[in-house]
């Protein structure tokens, strides 16, 4: 990853960050970019399983806070931003075929067709800016790495072919700041809200926090506590088990950046209609 580009983008406007991604000039993680707006996980599925996936999100709102859905065959999400094009506006995509990861790519224009539906799910990167403003350091942002993510032993509620374990993201938080981190993240219901576990990874089936399933390991210095938030990679695990012929998602850590204010609590569509 180009560290220089990342540091420059941290100072850019939301529009310029998205423009740089669309141009293919940045394919790194989006943690720390575009403060003030909601970032979103992306899942794109054939229309024949779209309703089942919507049910999966409705039944599992903590890992899958649904914030936007496209029209069938339409690569735009006008409720999240006027000019989003989901074929190009994510830094890196994962392409699954029959439930298996087939490849990664920087755009999906060649894969898009008239039978696909796109879902945007809120992301915990959104509340990290609020944590930083409150004086809580975020190691993976300071060190330009991808947040560590883990499978847990907590099962989601199935819907149609979609099921599987909850995935969580982890951040090391000072013991003196854990309560503050919980209070702050709770204000972001569209971005997973408060953590699901604090300080005891073994209780949710995580044997070794030094070996995440996705992302990069993060140190756990003395005086710090591992804090786990529900994660939007959860649908990717469900997709693997569902064996859908074609599915496209964001690469973990590489999000869709919207124009929705980060602390929005009302349905996104209503908010956009009010200001549009």
- Segments in the chain below pLDDT 70: 1-4, 264-276
Taking alpha carbons only, the member of 140, 36, 25, 138 closest to residue 88 is 25
Boundaries of every domain in the chain: 3-124+242-261, 127-230
Which CATH code fits 127-230? 3.30.2040.10
pLDDT of 93 reads: 97
Q: Nearest-5° angle of CA 179, CA 145, CA 227?
A: 20
Instruction: Give the span between the Cα atoms of 30 and 255, in whole angstroms.
Output: 6
Looking at the structure, give the CATH architecture of the domain made up of residues 3-124+242-261: 3-Layer(aba) Sandwich (3.40)
Per-residue pLDDT at 262: 81
Picking from 122, 117, 121, the residue whose alpha carbon sits closest to that of residue 49 is: 117
End-to-end CA distance of the chain: 37
Q: How far is CA 49 from CA 12, 76, 113, 125, 197, in A?
A: 38, 19, 15, 28, 31
Beta bridge partner(s), residue 120: 42, 68
pLDDT of residue 87: 97
- Residue 42: the pLDDT is 95
Directed axis angle between helix 234-242 and helix 47-59, to 10°? Answer: 130
E-strand spans in the chain? 37-46, 66-69, 93-97, 100-105, 116-122, 149-155, 165-174, 197-198, 224-230, 247-250, 256-261
Tell me what pLDDT residue 6 has: 86
Task: Say what the pLDDT of residue 125 is.
Answer: 87
């Amino acid at each position: 990853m180009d560290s220089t580009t990342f540091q420059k983008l941290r100072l850019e406007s939301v529009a310029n960050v998205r423009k740089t991604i669309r141009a293919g000039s940045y394919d790194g993680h989006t943690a720390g970019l575009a403060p003030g707006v909601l970032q979103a996980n992306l899942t794109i599925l054939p229309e024949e399983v779209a309703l089942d996936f919507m049910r999966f999100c409705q039944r599992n709102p903590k890992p899958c806070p649904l914030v936007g859905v496209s029209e069938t065959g339409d690569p735009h999400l006008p409720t999240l931003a006027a000019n989003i094009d989901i074929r190009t506006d994510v830094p890196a995509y994962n392409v699954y075929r029959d439930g298996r990861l087939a490849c990664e790519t920087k755009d999906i224009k060649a894969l898009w067709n008239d039978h696909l539906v796109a879902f945007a799910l809120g992301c915990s990167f959104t509340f990290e800016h609020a944590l930083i403003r409150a004086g809580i350091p975020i190691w993976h942002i300071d060190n330009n790495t991808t947040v560590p993510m883990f499978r847990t032993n907590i099962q989601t509620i199935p819907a149609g072919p979609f099921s599987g374990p909850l995935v969580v993201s982890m951040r090391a938080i000072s013991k003196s700041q854990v309560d503050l981190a919980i209070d702050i993240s709770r204000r972001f219901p569209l971005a997973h809200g408060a953590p699901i576990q604090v300080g005891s990874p073994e209780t949710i089936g995580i044997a070794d926090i030094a070996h995440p399933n996705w992302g990069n390991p993060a140190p756990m210095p003395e005086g710090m506590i591992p804090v786990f938030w529900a994660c939007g990679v959860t649908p990717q695990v469900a997709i693997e088990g569902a064996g859908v012929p074609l599915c496209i998602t964001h690469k973990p850590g590489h999000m869709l950046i919207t124009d929705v204010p980060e602390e929005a609590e009302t349905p996104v569509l209503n908010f956009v209609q009010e200001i549009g």
